[in-house]
Amino acid sequence: MVGRRCYAVVVGVALTVLLAGCVGPTVTDAGYRNKVGDTARQISSSIASARLAVQLDLDGRMAFALTDQTVSDAESDADSAATALASRQPPTDSALKLYQRASRPIQDAVDALRALRIAVRRGDSAAIRAALAGLDAPQHGMDDLRTAASGG
Amino acid sequence: MSRLFKMALGVMTAIGGFVDIGNLVTSGITGARFGMALTWAIVLGTMGMTLYGEMAGRVAAVARRPVFHIVRERLGVRTGMANLAAFLLLSGLMLAAELGGVALVLQLVTGVNYLVWVPVAAAVTWLIVWRVSFSVMENLFGLLGLCLVVFVVALFVLPTDWGALWHGATHPWVPPDQGHPMYFFYAVSLFGACLTPFQVVFFSSGGREEHWTTKSLPEMRLNALVGFPLGGLLSIAIMAAAVVVLKPAGVDVSHLGQVALPVAQALGPVGLALALVGFMAAVMAAAAECALSMGYAVAQYLGWGWGKDRLPRDAPRFHLVCLVAVLGATALVLTSVDPVTVTVLSVVLGAAALPLTYFPVLVVANDGDYMGSHVNGRTLNALASVFLVIMVVTSIVTVPLLFFTKAGR
Q: Say what percent of chain B tops pLDDT 90.
A: 66
Mutate to test the interface with A, among B117, B245, B261 (most CBs of A within 10 A): B261
- Give just the sign of the alpha carbon dihedral B98, B23, B111, B33: positive
Range with lowest mean pLDDT among A53-67, B166-180, B265-279, B323-337: B166-180
Please answer whether residues A46 and A74 qualify as being in contact, where contact means their C-beta atoms are separated by less than 8 angstroms.
yes
Mean per-residue pLDDT for A23-34?
Answer: 77
Q: Is the confidence at residue A27, as pLDDT, over 80?
A: no
pLDDT of amino acid B68: 87
Mean per-residue pLDDT for B40-61?
Answer: 94
Q: Kindly report the nearest CA distance between residue A70 and chain B, in angstroms.
A: 7
CB within 8 Å of B173: residues ≥ 6 apart? B37
Q: Do B108 and A66 touch (CB under 8 A)?
A: yes
pLDDT of amino acid A5: 57
Phi-psi region of B216 (alpha: psi -120 to 50; beta: other; left: phi over 0): alpha
If you average pLDDT over every residue of chain B, what do you get?
91
Q: Is the confidence at residue B213, as pLDDT, over 80?
A: yes
Please answer whether residues B222 and B11 qualify as being in contact, where contact means their C-beta atoms are separated by less than 8 angstroms.
yes
Q: Angle at the Cα of B197 (from B194 to B203), degrees rounded to 5? A: 90
Q: Is the confidence at residue B242, as pLDDT, over 90?
A: yes
- Contact residues on chain A for B111, CB-CB shorter than 8 A: 64-65, 68-69
Better-scored residue on pLDDT, A82 or A26: A82
DSSP structure class, residue B69: H
Return phi, psi of residue A112, to 5°. Answer: -65, -40
Q: Do B272 and A66 touch (CB under 8 A)?
A: yes
A120-129 long-range contacts (CB < 8 A, ≥24 apart) are: A120/A54, A120/A57, A120/A67, A120/A68, A120/A71, A121/A68, A125/A58, A128/A54, A128/A57, A128/A58, A129/A58
Q: Confidence band (pLDDT; 50, 70, 90) for B308?
A: confident
Mutate to test the interface with B, among A11, A49, A54, A72 (most CBs of B within 10 A): A49
pLDDT digits (tens, 9 = 90+) for B325-344: 999 999 999 999 999 999 99
Closest residue of B to A62, CA-based?
B269
pLDDT of amino acid B313: 86
pLDDT of amino acid A14: 57
Q: Confidence band (pLDDT; 50, 70, 90) for A11?
A: low
Among the partner-chain residues A51, A69, A77, the one whose CB lies closest to the CB of B257 is A69
Q: Say what percent of chain B tops pLDDT 70.
A: 98
3-state secondary structure of B356: helix
Q: Angle at the Cα of A117 (from A113 to A121), degrees rounded to 5? A: 170
Q: Is the confidence at residue B74, as pLDDT, over 70?
A: yes
Q: Is the confidence at residue A9, as pLDDT, over 70?
A: no
Helix (DSSP H) and strand (DSSP E) numbers for chain A: 6, 0
pLDDT of amino acid B166: 97
- Contact residues on chain B for A2, CB-CB shorter than 8 A: 78-79, 81-82
pLDDT of amino acid A18: 53
Mean per-residue pLDDT for B7-28?
Answer: 80
Q: Is the confidence at residue B407, as pLDDT, over 90?
A: no
Q: Do A63 and B403 touch (CB under 8 A)?
A: no
Return phi, psi of residue A147, to 5°. Answer: -65, -45
Burial of A55 (0-12, 13-18, 19+ CB in 10 A): middle
Q: Kindly report the nearest CA distance between residue B106 and chain A, in angstroms.
A: 10
Mean per-residue pLDDT for B2-24?
Answer: 76
CB within 8 Å of B390: residues ≥ 6 apart? B44, B48
Please answer whether residues B68 and B300 qualify as being in contact, where contact means their C-beta atoms are separated by less than 8 angstroms.
yes
pLDDT digits (tens, 9 = 90+) for B98-137: 999 999 999 999 999 999 999 999 999 999 998 888 888 8
Number of Cβ within 10 Å of residue B275's Cβ equals: 30
Mean per-residue pLDDT for A2-11?
Answer: 55
Closest CA to A141 of A63, A12, A44: A44
Start-to-end CA span in chain B (Å): 52
Better-scored residue on pLDDT, B25 or B138: B25
- Give just the sign of the alpha carbon dihedral B344, B21, B333, B308: negative
- Contact residues on chain B for A56, CB-CB shorter than 8 A: 261, 264-265
- Contact residues on chain A for B109, CB-CB shorter than 8 A: 63, 65
Q: Cα-atom radius of gyration of chain B, to the nearest Å?
A: 20
Q: Distance (Å, rounded) from C-alpha B334 to C-alpha B324?
A: 15
Amino acid letter, A144: D
Mean per-residue pLDDT for A136-147?
Answer: 94
DSSP structure class, residue B146: G
Mean per-residue pLDDT for B19-31?
Answer: 93
Closest residue of A to B112, CA-based?
A65
pLDDT of amino acid B206: 87
pLDDT of amino acid A12: 61
Mutate to test the interface with B, among A58, A66, A140, A147 (most CBs of B within 10 A): A66
CB within 8 Å of B207: residues ≥ 6 apart? B56, B57, B60, B61, B66, B216, B220
Q: Do A65 and B110 touch (CB under 8 A)?
A: yes
Number of Cβ within 10 Å of residue B116's Cβ equals: 12
- Give just the sign of the alpha carbon dihedral B179, B180, B181, B185: positive
pLDDT digits (tens, 9 = 90+) for A79-136: 999 999 999 999 999 999 999 999 999 999 999 999 999 999 999 999 999 999 999 9
Please answer whether residues B189 and B348 qualify as being in contact, where contact means their C-beta atoms are separated by less than 8 angstroms.
yes
Please answer whether residues B289 and A86 qualify as being in contact, where contact means their C-beta atoms are separated by less than 8 angstroms.
no
Q: Report the complex ipTM.
A: 0.88
Q: Distance (Å, rounded) from C-alpha B58 to C-alpha A10?
A: 32
Element (H, E) at B387: helix B378-404
pLDDT of amino acid A129: 96
Q: Is the confidence at residue A22, as pLDDT, over 90?
A: no
Q: Is the confidence at residue A24, as pLDDT, over 80?
A: no
Q: Confidence band (pLDDT; 50, 70, 90) for A152?
A: low
